[in-house]
Amino acid sequence: MASSTNIIIRMELKKETISFGEVAVAIGQFGADIIATDVIHSGRDSSVRDITVKVPDSTQSALLDRVRALAGVKVVNVSDRTFLVHLGGKIEVQPRMPIKNREDLSHVYTPGVAKVCKAIEEHPDKAFSLTIKRNMVAVVTDGALAAGVAYANPMWQWLAERTNPDHATGPLSTVIEGADVFVGVSGPGVLKVEDLRRMARDPIVFAMANPEPEIDPEAAEPYVRVLATGRSDYPNQSNNVLCFPGVFRGALECRARTINERMKLATAEAIASTVSGEELHEHYIIQRSAEQLRQLRLVGQPAGF
């Protein structure tokens, strides 16, 4: 089944030139359904409407081009629910104590904050109760590149030595022949149906480029036994939502200073354990949303913290 999206088209209609019914007919020609229509403004000569349309992703651009081309129609804006929930940002910071006067300010800021700083200096562990440090993670990197070697990455050599013992060379279409598993963390469209046909029988494909995977899931499905992508609208979603923020919560709980390999393995095992043997099948190898609290408890223990 082709995926679809609800979009909201705000348009101005010239009453002498076009009717809403004509617009509705044009929209329907692209396999779209009108979910709702809201009149924002109605004047003598024109009206402004918000029209919510469920449209297949494959025809969305063509539909919008057609609507814009209609005589008497001016498309003011196009949005969808994703953009609406991002309006104004998604995180809000509010003070826990309202500051109504100078005395309140003296407690939460200078000079009162100096007392808190001195207390933390004398007893560093108090930072976990007197600040938000217990909920903060710092990620530090220099991000340096060697001069004259653009995009060089020493990890590439390390990975090649450990994941390519046969020293296979050539394009993906060559090295994928006979492979049981494809793990993609690259970009859209790099994997072709012809490549899947060259793989071993019942291949497993993790096409995790996001938001567009290495191969269209619907094109790949007839040729694979198990398919996972980074998207939430297909089975077996595999991306950072599975371990975020759980792995960081676990690290904060045990006050770890780094995320090591043992913690990563513990996280992976915790995620895998959320699907029982009875539940496991091709379209359900992993939960859509891992049990975060259970996961964070398991992360620290095997890691030795």
Full residue range of the structural domain in which residue 115 is found: 102-135
- Give the rounded distance of the alpha carbon of 29 from its chain centre: 32
Output the pLDDT for position 301: 53
Q: What is the value of pTM for the model shown?
A: 0.54
Q: Are 252 and 137 in contact (CB under 8 A)?
A: yes
| Residue 193, both tokens | 């149906």
Q: Which of 68-72, 126-130, 153-157, 249-253 has the lowest mean pLDDT?
A: 153-157
- In whole angstroms, give the CA distance from residue 61 to residue 56: 10
- For residue 74, what is the domain's CATH number? 3.30.70.260
Q: Are 211 and 223 in contact (CB under 8 A)?
A: no
Output the pLDDT for position 1: 52
Verify that 288 and 181 share a domain, yes or no: yes
- In whole angstroms, give the CA distance from residue 114 to residue 135: 22
Strand ranges (E), 163-237: 181-184, 204-207, 226-229
Judge whether residue 209 has pLDDT over 70: yes
Q: Mean pLDDT highest for which of 101-105, 167-171, 273-277, 296-300? A: 273-277
Q: Mean pLDDT highest for which of 113-117, 191-195, 248-252? A: 191-195
Confidence of residue 273 (pLDDT cuts 50, 70, 90): confident
- In whole angstroms, give the CA distance from residue 278 to residue 235: 17
Residues 6+ apart with CB under 8 A from 133: 127
| Residue bearing the bigger pLDDT, 50 or 166 | 50
User: What is the average pLDDT across 179-187?
Assistant: 91
Judge whether residue 201 has pLDDT over 80: yes
User: What is the average pLDDT across 73-92?
Assistant: 81
Share of the chain above pLDDT 90, in %: 36
Output the pLDDT for position 235: 87
Q: Does 95 fall in a domain?
A: no
Judge whether residue 171 has pLDDT over 90: no
**C-alpha angle 292-293-294 in degrees, rounded to nearest 5:** 95
Verify that 236 and 272 share a domain, yes or no: yes
| Residue bearing the bigger pLDDT, 162 or 125 | 125
- For residue 243, what is the domain's CATH number? 3.40.50.720
Q: Torsions phi, psi of 59, nearest 5?
A: -115, 5
Q: Are 286 and 238 in contact (CB under 8 A)?
A: yes
| Residue bearing the bigger pLDDT, 203 or 80 | 203
Output the pLDDT for position 196: 97
Verify that 198 and 123 share a domain, yes or no: no
Q: Does 271 fall in a domain?
A: yes
* Distance spanning both ends of the chain, measured CA to CA: 47
Confidence of residue 291 (pLDDT cuts 50, 70, 90): very low
Q: Does 120 fall in a domain?
A: yes
Residues 6+ apart with CB under 8 A from 60: 5, 7
Judge whether residue 237 has pLDDT over 70: yes
222 HSE (CA, 13 A, CB side): 6
Residue type present at position 231: R
Residues 6+ apart with CB under 8 A from 97: 104, 107, 108
Judge whether residue 143 has pLDDT over 50: no
User: What is the average pLDDT across 184-197?
Assistant: 93
> Total domain count for the chain?
3
Verify that 74 and 204 share a domain, yes or no: no
Q: Which DSSP category does 168 fall into?
A: -
Output the pLDDT for position 292: 43
Q: Does 20 fall in a domain?
A: yes
Residue type present at position 204: I
Verify that 175 and 256 share a domain, yes or no: yes
Verify that 128 and 75 share a domain, yes or no: no
Verify that 213 and 262 share a domain, yes or no: yes
Q: Does 26 fall in a domain?
A: yes
- In whole angstroms, give the CA distance from residue 220 to residue 144: 38
Verify that 200 and 110 share a domain, yes or no: no
Judge whether residue 247 has pLDDT over 90: no
Verify that 173 and 296 share a domain, yes or no: yes
User: What is the average pLDDT across 84-99?
Assistant: 75
Verify that 223 and 272 share a domain, yes or no: yes
Give the full edge-to-edge strand order of the sheet including 204-207.
181-184, 204-207, 226-229
Verify that 183 and 290 share a domain, yes or no: yes
Question: Which SS3 state, helix, strand or coil, does residue 48 take?
Answer: strand
Q: Does 292 fall in a domain?
A: yes
Q: Which of 99-108, 167-176, 188-197, 293-302 has the lowest mean pLDDT?
A: 293-302
Verify that 256 and 286 share a domain, yes or no: yes
User: What is the average pLDDT across 209-233?
Assistant: 91
Q: Does 144 fall in a domain?
A: no
Taking the CB of residue 220, how many other CB atoms lie within 10 A of it? 22
| Residue bearing the bigger pLDDT, 257 or 133 | 257
Judge whether residue 199 has pLDDT over 60: yes
Q: Does 305 fall in a domain?
A: no
- In whole angstroms, give the CA distance from residue 64 to residue 183: 36
Judge whether residue 304 has pLDDT over 70: no
- In whole angstroms, give the CA distance from residue 264 to residue 31: 45
